[in-house]
Structure formats: C-alpha cells, structure tokens
Structure 1
C-alpha cells in the first residue's frame, strides 16, 4: 500500500490525540475527521466536487473589464525558498521552493528601490513579483509515522523578521532609545519562545495564534517607538518597518528527523543563488545629524549593489566556467562595497570618530558556496539562543530539494495573470509597492481561517476543491488563486500582511466600509501532470514540514511594482469594460 499518508490528517491526528487541537480542518471529504488512511484521501476526482463557484451579479456601476499580463512560466529558473511578502528579511523563510515570475531581483531583503530598479520577465514591463509554491511529482514512498516522530521530537519556535539590520542610519541622539527598544524586542522574542515550548512535540493552533497575537502587539508598539525616535531626531524614512512586525510559527526542528532524499546529492544546482553579505546597519554607531543623509544614500547604494548582483545571478545562470561567479559577480561587488563603506566612514568621521572595521564587511558569498556571513542570528539581529534550530540548507541537487520537499518540479504549462473588475463599482489604481497574499501556507499550525480552496481542472471552472484534483483524460490540473480586491486606501502593507486589503463580499461583490475596489488579481496556473501520477497520488505542493504537503496550504504572493502610469492604464481598461493586454 502506498504509505505517504494523508498529509494534514496525520498532523491533525497527532495534535488531536494530545487534546491540543480539535480536528476540524482535514481537507475536502475528510473534513471534521482525523481519520484518513493514506494520502489518497487528499485527492478527489473533480467530477465528484459539486459546483461551488458563484460570481456576484454585476450591477449598474460594475467595472466589467480585464487586463492580462504575460510574465511567462519561470523560464529563467528563478526558484527560491524566500517569501518576501509574508517573511521579509528571513532567508529560506518558506522552507519550501517558490516559482517566481516578473521581478528578477527580488529576495527576502529587497527594498522598494531595489524592486523598482530590477528587470522583469513580463512582456509589458511590469516589474511586479508574483510567486507560489512549486508542485512536484514524487514516486517514492514515505511513512507518515516519520513525520509524526519528527513532530514529537520538535520544540516549536517563533520566527520574526530582522529589525536591527533593516533600519536607516540611526541618529546619534536617538541611539540609546533605539537600542533600548531593540533589547525589548529581543526579550519579547525570547518570552514568546518560552511560551511556544510549552507545546513541545505537538501542534496547538489556538495557542500559537495567542502567542503570535501577543508578540505582534508588543512588536508593533516597539517598532513604532523605534520609528518615532529616528524620525524625531531627524532620521530617514521608516514607514516600511510595519512589514517587520509579524512573526510566524517555526517547526524547523522537524527537518532534522525527516528523511531527505537529496541529502547525499552534490549540490550541482541551487535554487535561485543569492548573494549573502555581512550586515552594515547594525554595525554603525549613532550617526551625527549632518551625516545622516549621506550615510542613508550610501546604505541604499549597498542595497542596490546586492540587488543588481542577485539579478545577475539569475540572468547569467549557466554562463562561464567554475570561476564565473567569483570573477564576474563577487569580485566587482566587493570592490564597489569597499568604496561605499569607505564613504560611510568618511561621512561619519567629519563629525565624530570614524567607525572601525567597516572594510571587513565588504566581502560577500553566494548561497551554496559557504556559510552566510556573520553566521545565524535571532530574528532581531542579536546572537541566537543556544536552542535555536540550525539554519536550513539551501535547495540541493537537480531537483532543487529541501528536507521533505522532494521529487521533480513540474513546470507550469501556462500561467495566466489577470486583473479584473468589481461587481458593484469602478476600481481605483493599486498603489505602487502594495503587498498582498492569498491563502495560508500554515492552516495546521495557524488555523484554517485564511486558507482557500484553489484546485480544479481545465473545463471545470465552476468548482474549486481543497484537495488535489484527479482530472479527466486530456484535462490540465489547475490552481486558481484570487487575491483580495479591496484596499483600505492608505497602506501598502499591515502588521499581519492582510488587514490593509480585503476580499469583496462573496454574495454582492461590494467592498466593506472604509475600503475601495482595486483591480482584483487572479492567477491561474495550469499543469500537464500524467494522469497515472494523479490517480496514484504522486503529485503535491512543496510545504512547511508541519503541513506535510497539505493541498489546503496552497498560497500565492504579490508585490505591485507596476508604474503609476501602467496601473492607471489597467484601471481605466477595467472601468471601461474592455479586455486588454
């Protein structure tokens, strides 16, 4: 019997046995039950799914048009385990591999300026980033007991974005106040991990959410205080710090006890190699007021240099010999960084003692070549706690595998990116750099409230399943991922990455009070998956370890980097009821 067991059912069964979580969100036909014998419970013949897609009837003021963007199917091979929207600043934060189309430079550390300067795979020049977890075919047999054992031996933790190394230059007269709040962030992080450890060996979604909600409240207050201190002392812009508030659950420890079929494979190909450089911001002293603007310009230039190097790694993959990266990317980058670091030292030295040791921060490495500079740190940039899990490996081998995410990646046959209208009103342009996500990568450890059914087959647009579909012969497996179509009119992100946008009312299509309609993004990803692999349950999403390839953990992320002119063009097309490209 094929024993790669029902993925979410396994995890739910474990935690239900401990009394920590009511097993109410096993996918599809297994919902309400923790009993599922094999992973085949996670697959459903699409003909057995009742039609469930109901579109609101357009009203007199509806915006009926659509705008389609062609960004390809990731022919550049931009794969990465980063999630720049949900986990900014955290390398390998997704613990699984994403397909990226559009923006070529984006990583977990990209600034808005970096994104704006990037190249793109989109034919109309759209520099937005669209990304989703890959699908794999894996014919090997895995035991669900392996995952249960791994969970039982794991102490859950929280993962938080770095704050220290994402700040602008800190004015000298704000340095003490900022350091005090950074230390308070560290204490809040440690306290949250002590609470998480109370549920060692099991998953308790309610407890996790309680811990994260409390931590989010503390971090929001402290990060706002940091921002206010810097601004009050004449420092640079800190509006983007809201993206660093949210933390997440972390079951990384499961990886150590789970079989990884690529563990012995020489890393002949890594996913989206990235430049890793020593952090600079957290090494600077308080900066004298007259030097702030110059230091911030140079810090931005350091960011841009790394972004350009990352993009070059994507666009030159496979070129040159074994020394190509050292000679064409890392060598020139070190020379540029050395010059900028020297300028930072000179700018500060005009008004205070010159900081020592900046020149040692010039050298960088590429993922897969050596450990990241500075070593691992906790998520606020301080020395890690002794119990912190080891950093995840980079994706390995020709299949770009991470622990428990194994098998050959299935390339999409097509990716359809559409901006659509609203059933009750005209749409307003999205703001540039708006972040949005749909679905939830962690319905087991965070609860299923934000998870969405996405799976169907071509020719069955009237139904979506939260199980993997088995399609009739000749039909494609599809993922249909709708993003929120309403915006609060002010913010490009929020503390939980969700509250600044909202889904329209499913019955009427109207946005809730205080929100306005924006072009609603839909991404449809189609795959030619052999029907034999569908019937045998051999295709699945990459996922976090605790999700064990749960189809209900499907998700998609987006950063809008359309120019204001292009986004106005999109909105006008939609409002005029036209079909545009």
Structure 2
C-alpha cells in the first residue's frame, strides 16, 4: 500500500526565520539566508516500507539548511569572494546530494521506482534580501567555479553522494550533518586552529589523507573499474585541495583552511568512500568496513617552527574537546589524522623538532626464545621448480630515502607519511613513471632497474636528518635510521610446478601498512631462530643474534594485470600445498631478507603512518618489476632448471 507523504512546510527556508530581523520602520528586513529547492513535494507516493527512512532524510535536509544558515550568520565578513561557496554552499551541496541519494535508495529497497531528478535539487543559493537582489545567482556563478575548485568538477554530481551515504555516515539520525556542520566548527578547534596558525606561520603546508586502497581487501571483478575510478577521484580531490591550499595562502581568518578546504574535502571523500562500498554491494560482495573513518584529512605544515607553535597550543584542546565530540558523533573515528595533527603540535612544543614517538610500547616486544618454531615450508613436488636467483642491489649505502609511495599514492608528496629505504632503481618517487624508471640508474650489479623499498627501521632516542621533515619527525617517525648489515633479494620457485615470467611493470606490495589490514604477513625474527617468525611483535634477540625482517611476496599472478585497484587482487599467495589458486599461475617468488644490528632491549621501531603507533604488524615492502625480457628470462630459466644463480 502506498501512502502520500506529508509535505514539510517550506515558506521560509529552514533557518531563514532566525535570520529575519525587524527594522526600525516596523517592516521586516531579511539578512542573507540560504534557499534550497523543496524536495518533499517531488516525491509523490512513498512506499510504506520507505516512509520512516524518507521522513528521516527529509528532516536531515532541513537540519542541514538550518546549520548552513547558522554558519552563514556566524561567518559574516570572513574569507574572500568565494568563501560562502567554498565553506558553506559547496559542503551543503555535497551533504544534500548524499541525502537525496539515500532517499532514492530507500525507494529501491522498498521495491518501488525511485523518483527521478532528485540530484538536481542539491544546489542551494544565498538570498540576500534587504535589497531585493538575489545574490544566490551570483554565488551560483561562484558555485560553478567553486564546485570545480572544490573537486565537484571531478566528483561532479557523481560526488553526489552516491551514494553519498557518506552523510549517512554522519548520521541518518539527524545528528550527523549537524555534527558535520559542527565538525566544520568542531574540527576548526581540532585542526583548524592548528591549520589557521599554520597558515599564519607563513607556510602553506600540505594536505595528507589516510590511505584507502590497502583497506579494501579483495575487490570483486565486477567492481574493479568503479573502485579504481573512485580511488583516482580521491587522489584528484587531494591534489585539488592542495592546489587551493597553495593558491589561498594568507586568505581568510584562522578557520579559513578548515571551512574552505578541509571541511569540503572531507564531505567529498565521504561520498566517494560510500561509492566504493556501494560498488562492492552491487557486485554481490561484502563491503569493506570502516571506510568512513578515512574521510578526514589533515594539514601538515611545511614550516615546523611557527606551525608547531600553533599546534602545540591548540592540538590537545582542539582535538581533545572538539575532535572527539565532532567526529566521534559523526562516527568518524578517523580524525585520527587530525588527532595526529594535535599530537604533532604537542611534539612541536619540544622546540628543535624533537618529536616524541607514540609507540611502540613494551607489550610490542617479545623474547624470540619464548616463541615456538612456527615456520612451515611446503614440500617441493616432483614437478616443482627448485632453483633460486639472487640479485645484489646493495644495502642502501647511498641513503636514498623519501616518504612517497608511487604504487599507492602516485603524484602525492609524502603519500606514505613514513620514510622508505630504496635499493635498485635510484629515481623512485611519487612522480615516477614507467618511462622515467626505465631511464634511471640502478644500484643492482646486474643492471636490473627494478625498484625495491620498505619502511626504515630506527634506533629510538637518537637524532636523524629528518627530525623536522615530513615522513620523519613531523609524522612522529623519530630516531636514527639503521642501515641493514645485509639485504638479500632472492627469487625462488614454486613447489608444485614451473614458474612463468612476471610481466614488466608488475607492482606488488606484501604486508600491510595498516593495523587490521589484509595480508599483514611481514615476518620478524632473529638470526639463529629463523624457524620461528612473528608478525605482530618485535623480537628481542639474544646477544650474538641479529634482528631479521622477512618479506615474502605474492607469487601467483592472474596472467593479465600488472596492478589492481587495491594493488593486491592481481596477485595472491600460494595455497597450503604451494600451488596457485585457480585462475592464477606461478611467477618467481620474491623474498626480501633484511638483517640489522639494533640496540639492546625495546629501543627500535619501524616507521609507520602516525596513527599506527609503530606497530610491527604494519611492516611491509614494495616491488616494481623493471627487468627486461632477457633479464626475466634468465631468472625463469635458472629457477626452472634447479640452479642457484646470482
């Protein structure tokens, strides 16, 4: 049975009544107010099963407008000519798009035809009435430019919140968007007083956001294209936000960056993350959880002096009070990054960049002698490939470091937020292309230009060159970088059959930089104890024994792709017997084995994202294959013929 929905009243736009004031002449004059298209009267008959959800979302739309009007009134006179569009109308459009999409989905879930044209109702304008003029159109003009600046150009009406249940995120119950509005104020206290002070410090800084691709797990084939498109959209949004950050340096008040850049960016990311979840669901797969927590981004200042002073005062107060209230209510535990911003401020208080690492803790360490042998190797069968091929690429004696990750975050400076050791290709950074890598020099003695990189290991309590740099101390990675005493790069065979050539430009990541992420399999052990490995603890080695990190890479390839949306599903690990799953074929199995002299006791740690607290389970390693056909042929022939080659 269908029931007509009671249409919400729409005389004055929600919140406009609050803006009305009585003039001295007794006539009523109106302050600027936000006007949005009516939605309820476009819905016609709403299915009974959808009534509650639709009503809740209509109320959410009203709450959004009311909150936007409050922000319009409280921010009068702030920012430049595009401030209202960038800080208020743009975010409001994103929120409305998400809610309108939820209304459509409510109809579909009830088995009814979804109303058409709802997305066209997302855009609002400012009615500036003491003069009778409609400045909304003028803002609307800005809006078109503003939306492009905001990334709507890429997100477009797609950002629309596809499924923008992004806002659902923030609370179907109506607390979300209000908090999201508050969040733009709450996060002001959280990040933006940081960010404002950073701007006042004179440096534009850079926007960094949590990594998404490695949180996705297995991406269904039917969802690959859509997921990849949305991952690229996330990168475009960050790049656009950083361009706006650079071009607007010095504009607005102390809350400008949060209101005009970080707040809108969070809304756009929320919508895009929701589209990724929906792509999984449409493919009949379980959607990845906790993606919503990755929506919040943080401003990292390129000038550690003034920025840190600002952060030092505001980090704890902002994050402690507003971060938890604003983002906590929104369900975005992810203001982890903003939280780290606060902590960066705290650490900045140290003065000379002496940031204090958060973690590891004593519980992250265990005596290797207390661990039982646990390494199992499948028996090589008659048709298996027994050979090995070793490549000597040095130990990074040249100290080639950066905090980029060209596989996961191409084009993003400091995309890893931790420092990597590099051996092999000497040019690898966020700007690298296949062509630039092929043209570069290499540290590998056989001329192999492949790139191998992993997070550095540090001795805690000692200074390093990057104490005041991004990826280092500014991202809470502190201590002296330890150069391995040995780096072994070895390609091995497959226990059940011959290997085939891996394609040039193949990209593989083993381990996972996120606590709780998929395939967290990097191994920690000690020389003399290598039949026992740990993934979630650092081993404490007895005297005479050295620390060992072991990275075994996925060695089953899908036969088609050199990369995938989450950088994992094009390759996989062998099954228990050593054979590859159906649809995959064995390629040379790469292993990185790194040996270190470390300080005695729990006084070392691997670099991580700031919020991952230097947990050993986040260890990982990356590989881009740049061997030419002849070089790869030598590797395959050696392995399949059972030889040991160097």
How does the TM-score come out when normalised to structure 1? 0.48
Higher helix share: 2
Larger-gyration structure (1/2): 2
Q: Which has the higher contact order (CA 8 A, sep 6+)?
A: 1
How does the TM-score come out when normalised to structure 2? 0.44
